[in-house]
Copies of this chain bind each other. A is one copy, B any other.
Amino acid sequence: MKYRLSELAAFLKRKFIGKDVEISGCNTLMDAKEGEISFLANPKYAKYLKSTKAGAVILEPSYASDEKNCIISDNPYLDFAKVVSLFAKEQGEFSGVSELSHIHEDAEIAEDVVIYPYVYIGPRAKIGKKTRIFPGVYIGEDVFIGDECTIYPNVVIMGGCEIGNRVILHPGVVIGADGFGFAMGDEGREKFPQIGKVVIEDEVEIGANSTVDRAALGETKIGKGTKIDNQVQIGHNVKIGANSVIVAQVGVAGSTNIGNNVILAGQVGIVGHINIADGVIIGAKSGVPKDIKKKGIYSGIPIMEHSRFLRASSVIQKLPEIYKEFKQLKNKLDLLEKQLKRNQDG
């Protein structure tokens, strides 16, 4: 694939400066070769603008100059993403429905669905049009999957779960395994049967080997447009709002409600049965033990306001010296006290 710079500018509805060069690929400022287009979004990388071999650069007006072919944009990263999507090749080349798959006769498969070999689709499952299902996927009975979804290899969707449109489930994702619930009986723990389901709304993306448990009763829900990274664990009956971002290895315990536009950085843990307000941001590795009612940035185990966390952390680093000084201070004060007493007595 090749495009003229003018064609890319027109596609983005942006202006371009310089020669109308031919572009055949995309790359970073540092690695770009002559025929490739690049972008500048982070000022940290502005220093590479002079030396880059990129044929053209997408950048903000303030960085534009006659020295470089460029497309002027007020959102260079987004525009670059759009250009990359022109060059991107979808994963997988299989088409049609493989005879090596096992599709129950009571399943409904819409038109233009792709089903690779070794896919199991249970009774009464419904697969929407243009959805692609890679090898090794298990789709249980009564599962609903919308249109234009991509279900990558070895994904498991247990019975009764519902997946919206344009959802992407990366390899190894497990949707609808039993939640972790037991009642204490006389002879040890007895399983609380998990009879709810998982509902995943449109445009959700879930990363490799992440797990979303089915509800005990009712549903576990991932809201529209929410993006979940790899190896994330979502407990039963959790509700996550729209357009939230959950980074790798986060764990959210059962029955917790997370709002819209929330960001949970990597390895965060959230206890069960709490509420996180819209727009909250939690720093990496933090532990959230109770409700967060106010939008803001929080960090720490347990969390506090992020700015406080940074200051507290800097004191923690000095604790060995501070504690030494503290003990000296105590001695000094004792001495002073004695001295004062002596003075008074004397």
Binding site for B on A (CB under 8 A): 26-28, 31, 75, 77-78, 80-82, 84-85, 87-89, 91-94, 98, 100, 102, 116-118, 120, 122-123, 134-136, 138, 140-141, 152-154, 156, 158-159, 168, 170-172, 174, 177-178, 180-185, 188-193, 195, 203, 205, 207-209, 211, 213, 217-218, 225, 227, 229-231, 233, 235, 242-243, 245, 247-249, 251, 253, 266-267, 269, 271, 284-285, 287, 289, 300-302, 304, 308, 311-313, 315-320, 322-323, 325-326, 329-330, 332-333, 336-337, 339-340, 343-344
Residue pair B203, A188 in contact (C-beta under 8 Å):
yes
Residue pair B117, A120 in contact (C-beta under 8 Å):
yes
Q: How far is the CB of A127 from chain B (nearest CB, A)?
A: 16
Q: How far is the CB of A287 from chain B (nearest CB, A)?
A: 5
With known contacts A136-B154, A192-B81, A208-B174, A308–B323 Cβ distance under 8 A: no
Q: How far is the CB of A56 from chain B (nearest CB, A)?
A: 15
Task: Choose from B156, B182, B318, B329 the contact partner of A171 (Cβ within 8 Å).
Answer: B156
- In the A-B complex, the 10 residue pairs with the smallest Cβ-Cβ separation, listed nearest first, are A88-B193, A138-B153, A78-B183, A156-B171, A311-B320, A177-B208, A174-B208, A120-B135, A315-B319, A81-B183
Residue pair B247, A266 in contact (C-beta under 8 Å):
no
Q: In the docked arrangement, what's the CA distance between A271 and B284, Å? A: 8
Q: Which residues of B contact A300 (CB under 8 A)?
A: 316
Q: Which residues of B contact A289 (CB under 8 A)?
A: 284
Q: In the docked arrangement, what's the CA distance between A305 and B120, Å? A: 49
Q: How far is the CB of A269 from chain B (nearest CB, A)?
A: 5
Q: Which residues of B contact A247 (CB under 8 A)?
A: 180, 253
Residue pair A320, B312 in contact (C-beta under 8 Å):
yes
Q: In the docked arrangement, what's the CA distance between A344 and B209, Å? A: 74
Q: Which residues of B contact A123 (CB under 8 A)?
A: 93
Task: Choose from B91, B174, B191 the contact partner of A172 (Cβ within 8 Å).
Answer: B174
Extra contacts besides A84-B193, A93-B122 (8): CB < 8 Å = A27-B217, A85-B191, A93-B123, A102-B117, A189-B227, A189-B243, A248-B253, A266-B271
Q: Which residues of B contact A154 (CB under 8 A)?
A: 136, 138, 154, 156, 172
Residue pair B78, A185 in contact (C-beta under 8 Å):
yes
Residue pair A177, B152 in contact (C-beta under 8 Å):
yes
With known contacts A320-B312, A333-B333, A340-B336, A158–B171 Cβ distance under 8 A: yes
Residue pair A269, B284 in contact (C-beta under 8 Å):
yes
